[in-house]
Structure 1
Amino acid sequence: MERWANSSLGKSVHFLMVCVDVPQAEVVARKYVNELGLNGVCIGFCKDESDFPHFRAQLGCQGLIIFDKNSKIVVRRTAALNEVGVQAFVSTDAIITSLLEDDDDQNSAYTADASTRIYRDIDFLRSDLRYRISCSLETIQQKQQSRLGSVPSVGNAEMDAEHDACSLLFDRLARERTPKVLAELVQALATHFEHEEQLLIAAGFGQNAPEGFSPLISHTKDHTRIITAARTALALTLKNGVPLDCAQNLAHLFEQHAIQFDTHYSDYLIAYAGRQS
């Protein structure tokens, strides 16, 4: 969305991201602005549940909402990145451009930078996201000391241990590149994801979220996306070795999941642990 806001579309369209991760939505929103260097897209947050929209909506990863110039919803849910990849951006861009062209005779103004405002593929998107995050010197220094697939602590010993075990397997896979190690990784991921989801449900993560805003549903969908990619890779490499870029891409999926999803549940697990003690 930042790319759109800083493109030719940004002159005619307001691109808005609203954090609904109450009660820490303001903190999370400010963190996103600082870590990702956002300066084009408008950032908002909900102070509490009373600020949630009074119309049917969903988290951004499940599809965007498009309003016309009269603030009426024209598209309630665009294609979702988690479901169709970067094609979601292509179709959304086409919808926005079409709406603008209906009201503007200068159609060429929105086509000149069409190829640069949309990520050409999912790997390019991930690379850009990693670059933005790594702009923090502290993050760069930490990354230099980390191994493939390493992720930040989530403040829960069980989850941290499982994340570390997966990271070790990602590192082994990059070095050995054998179907055997990939099979071990697939099993470790499946076991970890199942355990994590059970723990999040027990902790009440996303329990009271309105329809469409459940962080648990988005979280589990991303688990499915990662494990599907890993199983597909295993099926394709049973007779041959595992390419290095395959190991790296799977590790990047895991790393980005930790940044985009796992960092949001640590407070819930800490509170849950306190209730259990």
Structure 2
Amino acid sequence: MFEQTLGLRDVENVYINEAKDFPTFPCQLGCQGFVVIDRQHRFVDLCTSPMYNRAGQAAFDAVERILAQLPIRSVKLVNLSASPELNGTTCEVVNVAARQLPEGRIAVKLPDGCVLAVKEENVVDERREVAEPTDAFDEKQETVVFDENACCSSGTPCSTQGCSTPKSSSSNNSISLPSVGHKAMDAEHADLEKVMADLSTSKSVHDMESLRDFFEEHSEHEEKLLKRVGFGGTGQFSALDSHAQDHRHILAMADAALGEAGDDDVVPASCVNEVISAIVAHANNFDKLYADSVQVA
């Protein structure tokens, strides 16, 4: 379903179902970095950088740059008249700028490493036979649900139109944190909204310090709660550890913003927006994930 919903081709859709099957070597998965494997199942990168936690869309852009350097697909050469001895040879289509190739040709790498420019009609895809899915696919379905071992403790729906990302803005209208269904946490989120609104207006060192200190206190309360209810598990791929790391990252951002303040005790607007945006993004990308775990706490 995931493959069909996103219109992907030539992919293997797999997941890790049990903790014992997690990698035993150093690497990261998902929101803390991606593992990139080539067509021969060789590791290209064990932890891409920057992480999604830190850079959002830029993390996917970094992965795209890595993928752009890998072979695109396997093809077989056919109907070559100038070099008939190469007919039937399996090779890889590689990324070469179109302006570097004669019109109507693509670049392929032969097994010996030699790169040729050939016509599209002289290659055929080496396609694997893929079994028909056993479950019926509903084209009207608008939600993809990730499995339990995604970057949260339970499956999380994600719109096929893309997950929303809070916009950076100094407008108070953009400062809104989601409810997590826990009275104390929701109350602290409401207080955070007020402190952020004050800072958005004043941009003063005093209000940045207030936000930094309140967010640190809130983070301590939140992490204690999540440990108590057993959210996120432990170990290398703990969702709670990722959550806590993002807390520390935001506190470091606030400290850096304070270091940019001028003699007039005013923090640059760009720094204010960055810190506020990070907190809003954290609440939407992390806090919402523990809602089911804490509503009965």
TM over 0.5: yes
Alpha-carbon distance in structure 2 between the residues aligned to 1:201 and 1:155: 17
CA distance in structure 2 between the aligned counterparts of 1:227 and 1:268, rounded to whole angstroms? 25
Distance 2:285 2:200 in 1: 23
Residues 1:67 and 2:37 aligned together? yes
Q: How many positions carry a matched residue from both structures?
A: 208
Q: Could you tell me how far apart the structure 1 residues matched to 2:29 and 2:230 are?
A: 18
Aligned to 1:255: 280
Normalised by the length of structure 2, the TM-score is 0.58
Partner of 1:230: 254
| Contact 1:64–1:80 (CA under 8 A) maintained in structure 2 | no
Cα distance in 2 for partners of 1:203, 1:182 equals 31
Counterparts of 1:169 and 1:232, CA distance in 2: 18
Question: Deviation of residue 61 (structure 1)?
Answer: 1.9
For the 8 Å contact 2:257–2:272, the answer to whether it is kept is no
Larger gyration radius, structure 1 or structure 2? 2
What does residue 219 of structure 1 align with? Answer: 243
CA RMSD across the alignment? 3.8
Give me the whole-angstrom Cα distance separating, in 2, the residues matched to 1:110 and 1:202: 59
1:81 matched to which residue of 2?
51
User: Taking CA–CA contacts closer than 8 Å with sequence separation of 6 or more, which of the two structures ends up with the larger relative contact order?
Assistant: 1
The percent of aligned pairs where both chains have the same amino acid is 28
Unaligned runs of 5+ in 2: 73-90, 101-160
Task: Identify the residue that residue 80 of structure 2 maps to in structure 1.
Answer: none
- SS of the equivalent of 2:18 reads helix
**Could you tell me which amino acid in structure 2 is paired with residue 97 of structure 1?**
A
Rounded to whole Å, the distance in 2 between the matches of 1:75 and 1:49 is: 22
Partner of 1:197: 223
Judged with a 3 Å threshold, the aligned counterparts in structure 2 of structure 1 residues 40 and 173 are, in CA distance, closer, same or farther, namely: farther
Task: Using structure 1 for the length normalisation, give the TM-score.
Answer: 0.62
Task: Name which of 97, 101, 124 aligns with 1:108.
Answer: 97
CA distance in 2 between partners of 1:170 and 1:43 (Å): 44
Distance 1:132 1:96, change over 3 A: closer
Q: How does 1:1-277 map to 2 (within 5 A)?
A: 49-50=17-18, 53-56=21-24, 58-81=28-51, 85=55, 88-89=59-60, 91-100=62-71, 103-108=92-97, 147-207=173-233, 211-237=235-261, 239-240=263-264, 241-271=266-296, 273=297
More strand by share: 2
User: Given the superposition, is the C-alpha separation of residues 39 and 248 from structure 1 closer, same or farther in structure 2, using an over 3 Å criterion?
Assistant: farther
Deviation at 1:62, TM superposition (A): 1.4
Greater fraction helix:
1
- Residues 123-144 of structure 1 show CA distances to partners (whole Å, capped at 9, x for unaligned) of xxxxxxxx95569xxx9xxxxx
